[in-house]
Amino acid sequence: MALSFSLSPSCLNTSMASGSASLMWFRKGLRIHDNPALEFASKGSNYLFPVFVIDPHYMESDPNAFSPGSTRSGLNRIRFLLESLVDIDLSLKKLGSRLLVLKGEPSQVLIRCLKEWDVKRLCFEYDTEPYYQDLDAKVKNYASAAGIEVFSPVSHTLFSPSDIIQKNGGKSPLSYQSFMKIAGQPSWASSPLSTVITSLPPVGSLRSCEISEVPTIKELGYEDIKQEELTPFRGGESEALKRLTEAIRDKEWVAKFEKPKGDPSAFLRPATSVLSPYLKFGCLSSRYFYQCLQDIYKNVQHTSPPVSLLGQLLWRDFFYTVAFGTPNFDQMRGNRICKQIPWKDNDELLAAWREARTGFPWIDAIMVQLCQWGWMHHLARHSVACFLTRGDLFVHWEKGRDVFERLLIDSDWAINNGNWLWLSCSSFFYQYNRIYSPISFGKKYDPNGDYIRHFLPVLKDMPKEYIYEPWTAPQSIQIRANCIIGKDYPKPVVSHDSASKECKGKMAQAYALNQKLNGLVSEEDLRNLRRKLDEEQKHEVKTKRQRKLPIGN
C-alpha cells in the first residue's frame, strides 16, 4: 500500500540541508504543550523533521483477531491514534512545519531517516514500556556510533521511574504510600512549564524517504465502520485541552473528587473526566494537568491523595514505576511480586465474558460498552475483572488483560497490567474475600437498569425487578418483555453464590501454598494444586447429585 503524495512547498525546504538538522520522533507525547523533546529539537536547528512511524506491530489489520483491528489493538484505539496524529499535524502546520508519516519497523525506519537526512540531533520522549525500551536501544546505539546527539527526556510521567527506584535502593516501592514518601514533590513542579511554541524550523529535504499524510482507517486496510458503532471520544491534543478546560472549570467537582466514589452506570455524562486516553497517548501532559490541579487546590478545600484527582495522577506514576522495575511485570510466571495461582484455562468461559454472553446483565452491559466505546468507568472495570478472575469464573488474569489491552482506547501497558494484578488479588491487594457482586453492585447505582437497557437492548422491556436477574422472571413476564432467557438472552454461565464460594476456597489454598513455599511456587506445584482442586470439585458435584437423588434409589 503506497500512501505517497506531493509535498507542499510551504512545509518543505527543497534544497539539500546545509545546516544542522534535528529529528523529532513522535510515539506518545502527541502534543505541542509541555513537550521538552520537541522544544529541544527546534532550538538552534536549521531544519526539523517531525516523524511518526506507522508500526505494523500495532496498526496492520489482522483478520484473525476477535474484533476489528490489528494483532495488538482494536479499531477504536487505532482510530483515536489517527485522529491524534491529524490533530498534531494541523498544529505543526500552523507553526511552519508538518508531520512526516512513514511506515515500517520503527528502528529500521528511524535509522534510515537519520542517514538520509544527515541528522545531527535525535529527540524523543522517554518511554518505559519494554517494547519501546528495545526499540530505543537499537536507535540510540546507531545514533551514538554515528555521533548523533540524543535527547530523550522524561515527560510522559510526573517523575522519572528510574530516579524513584534509585532512591529506594534499586527496588520499586511496592505500595502507594511508600511511593509517595520517596517521590515527594516533582522537581519541576514549582516552575512554569513551557506550554507554547510560536514557530518551528522548516522541514529539510526528504531525499528518497517515502513520506505520507496521516492515513485514514480505510487506507490502513480496514473496512468503513459507521461512526455510531465507534467510541464517542475523539483523539487529539485539541480535544484533550478542551476536555481539561471543561473538567477544571467545575472547581467544586475537582475539589470534591473522591475515588473510588462515582457512578459506574453513568454513560450519557460519565462520572469521571475521561482524560485517561489523552494521558495514554500524551495528547495531554500529565505535568500540565498536575499544575492545573495545584492552581485550583490553592484556593479551595479539597480531597487528598490517594482518592483525589491529583492522587489519580500519582497512582499512574506508581504503576509506571513498579512496572519499570519489575521483570516480567506483564505475566504471572517469573514475576516476583505476583502470587502463583492455578487459574483455569477455559476458552469457553473467556469467550462468554469477552462477547457479553455471561447471562449476568450488569457484566454483559459493561463488556458491550467496552467493545463499542473502548472505555468504561473504573468501577465497571473492577466488576468485570473480578468476575472473570477471583470472583466467579477463575480464568487467568492475563487473558482478561489481553482483552482490555486490545479494546481500551486508554490501554496503557503499566496501568493495565497493574490493575489486573490488583483486581485478581495477584499483587498489591490481597483481600480476595471482597467480591463485586454481578447482581447487587450495579443495582446500588442504577436500580432501574437504564445502563443495562442502553447497552443490552434485548433487555430494554424487562421490568426493573428482574433486569439484573432476568432468569428469575416468570415465563409470562419474559414473553411480555420479548426476551426468553436461554433463547434471546443467555442463562447465567455460573451460579454466582456457589461460584464465588468456590473461588474463595481456591484462592485460600493458592495463598497458603505461596506462603508455605515463600513465593517460590514451581509449575509442578501449580499442576498438583490444580489437580487437587479439580478432584475436590468433582467430589463436591458428586455429593450434591447424591443428595438430590430420591430416597430408595
What pLDDT does 549 receive?
63
Alpha helices in 250-285 (DSSP H): 251-256, 276-280
What pLDDT does 11 receive?
39
Residues at the annotated binding site?
272-276, 312-319, 410-412
CATH architecture of 18-155: 3-Layer(aba) Sandwich (3.40)
Give the list of residues 6+ apart from residue 435 with CB closer than 8 angstroms, or none.
386, 390, 391, 500, 503, 504
Which has the closest alpha carbon to 68: 356, 455, 366, 60?
60
Eight-state DSSP code of residue 331:
S
How many CB atoms are closer than 10 A to CB 281?
27
CATH architecture of 157-191+241-325: Alpha Horseshoe (1.25)
Contact (Cβ atoms closer than 8 angstroms) between residue 156 and residue 126: yes
What pLDDT does 223 receive?
78
Element (H, E) at 102: strand 100-103
What pLDDT does 227 receive?
56
What pLDDT does 19 receive?
62
b/e code 196-225 from CB counts within 10 Å (16+ = b): ebeebbbbbbbeebebbbbbebeebebeee
What pLDDT does 229 receive?
62
Which has the closest alpha carbon to 389: 538, 499, 528?
499
DSSP string of 345-393, one letter each residue: --HHHHHHHHTT-SS-HHHHHHHHHHHHHS---HHHHHHHHHIIIIITT
Which has the closest alpha carbon to 376: 228, 235, 384?
384
Which has the closest alpha carbon to 453: 267, 246, 327?
267
Residue pointed to by grid coordinates 432468569: 471
How many CB atoms are closer than 10 A to CB 14?
10
Determine the 3-state secondary structure of 228 from DSSP: helix
Distances (CA, A) of 304 to 147, 309, 318, 346, 445: 47, 8, 16, 42, 24
What pLDDT does 5 receive?
26
Distances (CA, A) of 513 to 317, 517, 523, 528: 32, 6, 12, 11
- Report cis status (omega within 30 of 0) of the bond before 260: yes
In this prediction the pTM is 0.93
Residues at the annotated binding site for FAD?
272-276, 312-319, 410-412
Which has the closest alpha carbon to 314: 303, 330, 299, 326?
303
pLDDT of the chain along its 553 residues, tens only? 333 222 333 333 433 334 699 999 999 999 999 999 999 999 989 999 999 999 998 998 898 999 999 989 999 999 999 999 999 999 999 999 999 999 999 999 999 999 999 999 999 999 999 999 999 999 999 999 999 999 999 999 999 999 999 999 999 999 999 999 999 999 999 888 989 999 999 999 998 888 999 999 999 988 766 655 678 999 999 999 999 999 999 999 999 998 878 899 998 888 888 999 999 999 999 999 999 999 999 989 999 999 999 999 999 999 999 999 999 999 999 999 999 999 999 999 999 999 999 999 999 999 999 999 999 999 999 999 999 999 999 999 999 999 999 999 999 999 999 999 999 999 999 999 999 999 999 999 999 999 999 999 999 999 999 999 999 999 999 999 999 999 999 999 999 999 999 999 999 999 999 999 999 999 999 999 999 999 988 888 777 777 766 655 4
Across the beta sheet with 21-26, the strand order is: 100-103, 47-54, 21-26, 121-123, 149-151
Alpha helices in 267-308 (DSSP H): 276-280, 286-297
Which has the closest alpha carbon to 38: 98, 29, 159?
29
How many CB atoms are closer than 10 A to CB 147?
7
Q: How far apart are CA 229 and CA 224, in angstroms?
A: 11
What pLDDT does 15 receive?
34
Q: Which three cell numbers stand for residue 287?
A: 505535568
Identical fold at 18-155 and 347-548?
no
Give the list of residues 6+ apart from residue 305 with CB closer than 8 angstroms, or none.
180, 311, 314
- Report cis status (omega within 30 of 0) of the bond before 63: no
Superfamily for the 347-548 domain: DNA Cyclobutane Dipyrimidine Photolyase, subunit A, domain 3 (1.10.579.10)
Which has the closest alpha carbon to 367: 407, 414, 334, 329?
407
Q: How far apart are CA 421 and CA 312, in angstroms?
A: 18
User: Where are the chain's structural domains?
Assistant: 18-155, 157-191+241-325, 347-548
